[in-house]
């Protein structure tokens, strides 16, 4: 009896899917990391985020901030384990973070009823 081959992880799959489905990418792995660090430091009261991944139809409620003590292209989450940053289509945080984010760079944000949506792809 032969053991079934284990599927291999393709680290470029999320990037290929995003390029196929979206015409513009606004966030890099470094910008996502900067966003998580800056927002987490400025607003330690925020403990959740809503994330829409490129390969999942329904946005997911997750703990904020994710753990960044992993290789640069990933965030580590309680809910899903290590997850590629490039797989984030958009995420929302329950606060208006424009002033915080403007101090550290240009982020594609939309403010809706005191929620900040950071847009990864469009």
Closest among 72, 83, 84, 88 to 122, alpha carbons compared: 88
What pLDDT sits at residue 7?
45
How many Å apart are CA 35 and CA 104, to the nearest integer? Answer: 9
What pLDDT sits at residue 38?
95
Q: How many CA atoms lie within 13 A of 106 on its CB side?
A: 1
Q: Domain boundaries in the chain? A: 23-119
How many Å apart are CA 6 and CA 16, to the nearest integer? Answer: 22
Q: Where are the beta strands (DSSP E) in 8-114?
A: 48-53, 60-63, 74-77, 81-84, 88-93, 109-112
What pLDDT sits at residue 6?
42
Cα–Cα distance list, 95 to 3, 58, 75, 76, 106 (Å): 50, 21, 21, 22, 18
pLDDT tens-place values along the chain, 122 residues long:
444 444 444 556 666 666 666 657 788 889 999 999 999 999 999 999 999 998 889 999 999 999 999 888 888 888 888 888 888 999 999 999 999 999 988 999 999 989 999 998 87
């Amino acid at each position: 009896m032969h053991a079934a081959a284990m599927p291999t992880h393709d680290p470029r799959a999320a990037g290929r899917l995003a390029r196929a489905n979206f015409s513009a990418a606004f966030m890099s792995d470094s910008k996502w990391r900067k966003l998580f660090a800056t927002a987490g430091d400025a607003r330690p009261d925020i403990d959740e985020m809503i994330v829409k991944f490129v390969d999942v139809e329904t946005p997911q409620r997750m703990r904020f901030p994710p753990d960044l003590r992993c290789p640069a292209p990933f965030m580590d989450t309680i809910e899903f384990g290590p997850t590629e940053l490039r797989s984030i289509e958009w995420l929302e945080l329950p606060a208006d973070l424009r002033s915080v984010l403007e101090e550290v760079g240009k982020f594609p944000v939309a403010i809706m009823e005191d929620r900040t949506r950071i847009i990864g792809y469009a």
